[in-house]
Structure 1
């Protein structure tokens, strides 16, 4: 009888003890599950309705980074700052935060103009741009393809050894035939730009310099000279006049800095250097700063295949002048990386989009005395970049146009590298 009572007491104690453990464990699990639930809720909210409507549609959703190597974070962490919903909010804000800039689109109708260089509005065009920033953004993001992951090793090679602590990265790429023009550019940068900057890296990519030119550049330029990894890329990247290497370099390096400044060898800073503060402030606010000109419309100077890649018609772009891809200031932010540069790189990796069969066509763009003909010539990198930016910004494209023009001096050469290696 006493033994039975003893067993009963032990049993009761065990029940109480077990209940305490369960309560304690439940509290911990509750807090953990609550945290997971909050994270999941935030994740679902960030993904929005677009994911639920088409989880398997990579072309209309997001490029996901799910490993530490790809995402630069802990294993299993997914970056969600490139979703359509998030980027659309950013684009809408950019379009609404700033007043209209001076100038605007032409109202001259194409039926009243004669020459190819004239920009005009094609009132017979059957296609129009959507008035919805989100819809236009979806159309651009739909061009992002598997090349963004397939060539990560090449992108890593581009940035190898480049520190990530610089506020500014100034970058140029040069081949042997532009060597003397590049010397003048370097002198101009040292004279007008570098004295105004701190915390910067100046990089020149070797696209085919001779051994002597490479040695002289490394000895005299006050910069870092890097090889471009042609061997890790499709063979057509070696066709230098296609300029596919340019978006590759810009997209790779932008993650190493706050401001990436691209300069062709013909760029001169004499006038812009006086307003650097304004240039970088506008770039940070608006994402990027480029220079559009009225020398010819995107419709005339872009191949039909490129418009097909973006699911557009050339007549939609008759009223827009070309963007000058030879100079640009890019701010390191999700919108610029994912909505502008990723589609640009995807085009570069697609042979039918940027590097068409006849690169020499760029040299045969029609002049003032030739009749208008859509797709009469092709501008490769800047044709693609122009389409992306015009579709994103629409009639507000002046928001990303520099308020101080740079100077382009093609053929401005000198032998400034005098110190021997």
Structure 2
């Protein structure tokens, strides 16, 4: 059975949405005339695979997301029992990232002694990197902005995040992304790992509407209707990716291509769309969530009414503490 048939079989035989635990209901009342998702997994998959982008082929070859590269990466894949952790930060998140590192040391390594943490420097100061080298017990890498289009250097454009994940999927068959704000409480992550191994991707369900929190330019670039995505978003804060033909072809490739094409994930004056309004001020395209907007569109198009297949719940295994000021390194 090829990967398309396997994923289709898995989807078709999965239970319908548990609406109490995984609500998949429209978030707003809209007068927009809107179609629905295709009834079959294959049709929604082909929709994603037929998104068109204006990106130099050299980037697909570099990241092994062309047909030959995907075949090469997945021909003799290993089966790691747990992932490498990927994270990144610039200087303004120096104390926030210390909370993640503390929990990695205290709460993850005792359970998974061989678990590796790879930190990508997005613009730390020299002194901060000295302290990271002394105390992180992780591998530190400088993100290679210079090999990608210039707009990727815009930190708040977030194109670097899917690129980091794909760069690591070139080396490792299992990658867990964690923003600097992610906290681990010491409980095993085995259920999350199992879901990622079975489906290929796992993300945290959010509560804001994808249609409200995604700029119209992104929907236009992908050839999608905003009104079709008036459903809960996926948070790009904490995710897991298992390298497979499905994950590379249907998730990473379009996510990366959208990041690389200026005007898809990021665009001119995008910063003015960072703040999301509340209550009656909300309307489609009210704000923009960049990498999170695009991964939400992809996973919702692919899994829609059975999106529980690619979701995991943070409660019980950790927390998200944005902007938490943590002093873990002795010299901080």
The TM-score normalised by the length of structure 1 is: 0.69
Instruction: Tell me, in whole angstroms, the C-alpha distance in 2 between the residues paired with 1:325 and 1:258.
Output: 19
Q: Are 1:171 and 2:86 an aligned pair?
A: yes
The TM-score normalised by the length of structure 2 is: 0.87
* Alignment equivalent of 1:220, drawn from 122, 126, 135: 135
Change in CA separation of 1:189 and 1:333 when aligned onto 2, cut-off 3 Å: same
Change in CA separation of 1:258 and 1:198 when aligned onto 2, cut-off 3 Å: farther
Matches within 5 A, 1:267-416: 267-270=182-185, 273-294=186-207, 296-318=208-230, 320-368=231-279, 370-405=280-315, 406-416=318-328
Equivalent residue, structure 2, for 1:189: 104
Equivalent residue, structure 2, for 1:251: 166
Q: What displacement does 1:168 show? A: 2.0
Query: Which sits farther off after the overlay, 169-178 or 132-141?
Result: 132-141
Instruction: Tell me, in whole angstroms, the C-alpha distance in 1 between the residues paired with 2:292 and 2:222.
Output: 14
Equivalent residue, structure 1, for 2:95: 180
Change in CA separation of 1:207 and 1:402 when aligned onto 2, cut-off 3 Å: same
Assess if the C-alpha contact under 8 Å between 2:152 and 2:159 holds in 1. Answer: yes
Moved over 6 A (4+): none
Q: Are 1:100 and 2:100 an aligned pair?
A: no
Assess if the C-alpha contact under 8 Å between 2:52 and 2:222 holds in 1. Answer: no
Q: What displacement does 1:96 show? A: 2.9
**CA shift digits 1:12-43 (9 cap, x unpaired):** xxxxxxxxxxxxxxxxxxxxxxxxxxxxxxxx
Instruction: Tell me, in whole angstroms, the C-alpha distance in 1 between the residues paired with 2:24 and 2:190.
Output: 30
Higher RCO (CA-CA < 8 Å; seq separation 6+): 2
Instruction: Tell me, in whole angstroms, the C-alpha distance in 2 between the residues paired with 1:256 and 1:263.
Output: 18
Matches within 5 A, 1:137-176: 137-143=45-51, 145=53, 147=55, 149-151=57-59, 155=63, 167-176=82-91
Q: Are 1:120 and 2:28 an aligned pair?
A: yes
Instruction: Tell me, in whole angstroms, the C-alpha distance in 2 between the residues paired with 1:121 and 1:93.
Output: 33
Structure 1 unaligned regions, length at least 5: 1-45, 47-85, 109-118, 157-163
Assess if the C-alpha contact under 8 Å between 1:291 and 1:327 holds in 2. Answer: yes
Q: What displacement does 1:125 show? A: 2.5
Assess if the C-alpha contact under 8 Å between 2:51 and 2:223 holds in 1. Answer: no
**CA shift digits 1:49-83 (9 cap, x unpaired):** xxxxxxxxxxxxxxxxxxxxxxxxxxxxxxxxxxx
Instruction: Tell me, in whole angstroms, the C-alpha distance in 1 between the residues paired with 2:97 and 2:51.
Output: 34
* CA RMSD, Structure 1 to Structure 2 (Å): 2.4
Query: Which sits farther off after the overlay, 377-386 or 180-189?
Result: 180-189
Q: What displacement does 1:363 show? A: 3.0
Query: Which sits farther off after the overlay, 192-201 or 377-386?
Result: 192-201
Q: Are 1:199 and 2:107 an aligned pair?
A: no
Assess if the C-alpha contact under 8 Å between 2:159 and 2:291 holds in 1. Answer: yes
Structure 2 unaligned regions, length at least 5: 65-77
Q: What displacement does 1:282 show? A: 1.7
Q: Are 1:260 and 2:170 an aligned pair?
A: no
